[in-house]
Amino acid sequence: IRGGEDKVDEDCIFKFMDNFICKLLESGIEVIIQCQSNLQDMYL
């Protein structure tokens, strides 16, 4: 029974990490795009 609980915990952690990393990547990409567009505005 204990092993089953551990397995569920691992699944929850992996799902949480996946969501967390995806959100980080999405926000990071948005920030990079904003920075690039700002730089282009400054130079052009």
**What letter represents residue 20's amino acid?**
F
Measuring CA to CA, how many Å separate 11 from each of 15, 22, 33?
6, 16, 33
Q: What is the pLDDT of residue 5?
A: 67
Q: What is the pLDDT of residue 4?
A: 60
DSSP state of 23: H
Please state the pTM of the whole predicted model: 0.49
pLDDT of the residue at 31: 86
Unique residue bearing structure tokens 């967390």: 20
Tokens of 28: 């990071």
pLDDT confidence of residue 43: 72
Residue 15 structure tokens: 């799902």
Per-domain residue ranges of the chain:
1-44
pLDDT of res. 35: 83
The 10s digit of each residue's pLDDT in 1-44 is 555 666 778 888 899 999 999 898 988 888 888 888 888 887 76
